[in-house]
Amino acid sequence: MELSFTQGRWNYEQWGGFDPITSNNAKPPGVELWAVFDLPQEQIDAAWKNLTHTLSGLFCASINFLESSASYSAPEWSFPPASGSLRYGTLPREAVCTENLTPWLKLLPCRDKDGLSALMHRPSIYKGFYHSQRLRLTSIASNLEGWGSGIVLEQTLTVVLQPNDQKNMLYSSKPNLQPSWSMSSIFFQKSERKMYACQV
């Protein structure tokens, strides 16, 4: 299963997008959800409906609108390994806001208290050209020894920011035009907040 909330459009000419890593993070605007079900064919539509309603409540979004057969597709030829068991839906006009980001942050081991997530100053993220938060769940089968099965949670946040603003110019007044911005000047709030490693 993969769920993404995206604001803005990815600029392939300026930001790339033809390598595997970037192409996975370049998502369409709004909400995108796809899931592969390991269930009998007659139970998949009901499972899809339950999934959309559950995610709608968890992420404070209108994902439940994807339960309608007019809002999702069940491709059979595009994804041969998951033929008939895949459901895909998008809500391109879904507004993305902090209410969607907060539940996403709560899934992190240290939330937004420590680690890189401590850099996530919400106004800085939402004023950027593009941002996309992605949640991917993958089930892993047990190996020959009978252990190792479980679910892998992968979270990705892709942000494109413009570092120069009225208070922080992109280039200094020096002739060599050296960048005059830093990660802390973009993300940190005015308070002197230190970043610590997340103790997992």
- pLDDT (tens digit, 9 = 90+) per residue, 62-87? 999 998 876 778 777 666 666 678 89
Domain residue ranges of the chain, discontinuous segments joined by +: 2-187
Buried b vs exposed e over 78-104: b needs ≥16 C-beta within 10 Å?
eeeebeebbbbbbbeebebeeebbebb
Three-state DSSP at 36 gives: strand
CB 64 within 8 A of CB 52: yes
Q: What whole-number distance in Å separates Cα of residue 86 and Cα of residue 74?
A: 6
Which region, left, alpha or beta, applies to residue 132 given φ > 0 means left and ψ of -120 to 50 means alpha?
A: beta
Q: 130-184: per-residue pLDDT in tens?
A: 999 999 999 888 766 666 788 999 999 999 887 765 444 444 444 444 566 776 6
Model confidence pLDDT, tens digit, residues 16-55: 877 877 777 789 999 999 999 989 989 999 999 999 999 9
